[in-house]
Amino acid sequence: MSIGLAGQQRLGQKHVPAAHSRRPLADTAKKESAFIARPVERATAVAARNRISLVSPELHDRYLQQEWHLTGLQVLYSGFSNGDYPYTKPNAEQKRFAEEIVDLLDVRHLLRRNVQQLSTGELRKLLVARALVARPVLLALDEVCDGLDAPSRTALLKMLGHLPQTGPN
């Protein structure tokens, strides 16, 4: 069983609703923060951390502040190691799965561009794709819709709303 939880930001503090107020993510189009969770297998804290993906304003800013001059594809591939920089090359299966995510989020046109030249919305969509390639058990989204126009916001939230039931693959 998978759970979609919606949270919101209030007065600078993060708020996650109580268990009795859980509702589908699709109902949270106006919310700033969201969490998507799948069942977690028994693991150590370190192993569990490797199964969590985060998209946040802080992550967004790190890619803009670093002088790495990464392409969208390199940022996407960095999701496989759950780090900011692509330290290893993905294998054939990882590349195939990344292609699926790229098509799912319609970000192919961003892959050859320097991430520091992307708009806020473009980089945010790319960071969601980066988070999904890691096949996380927990996907934490903080202000994920910042910089997205209304149609992109609606499409992203609709796709994310289906993830707890279907997964990205």
Give me the domains of the chain, ranges plus CATH numbers: 3-166 (3.40.50.300)
Taking Cα atoms as reference points, which of 137, 139, 133, 143 lies closest to residue 169? 133
Torsion angle in degrees (nearest 10) through CA of 102, 2, 45, 62: 30
d(CA 160, CA 36): 8
d(CA 57, CA 131): 14
pLDDT exceeds 90 at position 147: no
> For the chain, what is the mean pLDDT?
78
Q: Token digits for 62?
A: 């790190």
- pTM for the model: 0.72
By DSSP bridging, strand 33-37 and strand 13-15 are unpaired
Which residue would you say has higher pLDDT here, 100 or 12?
Answer: 100
Q: What is the pLDDT of residue 138?
A: 87
The pLDDT-based confidence of 107 (bands split at 50, 70, 90) is: very high
φ/ψ of residue 154, rounded to 5: -60, -45
Q: What is the pLDDT of residue 35?
A: 53
Q: What is the pLDDT of residue 43?
A: 59
Could you read off the pLDDT of 27-70 as tens digits, one per residue? 444 444 555 555 555 557 777 777 889 999 999 999 999 888 89
Q: Token digits for 124?
A: 């945010």
Residue 7, beta-bridge partner list: 33
Q: How far is CA 119 from the centre of its chain?
A: 17
Crossing angle (nearest 10°) for helices 57-65 and 120-133: 110
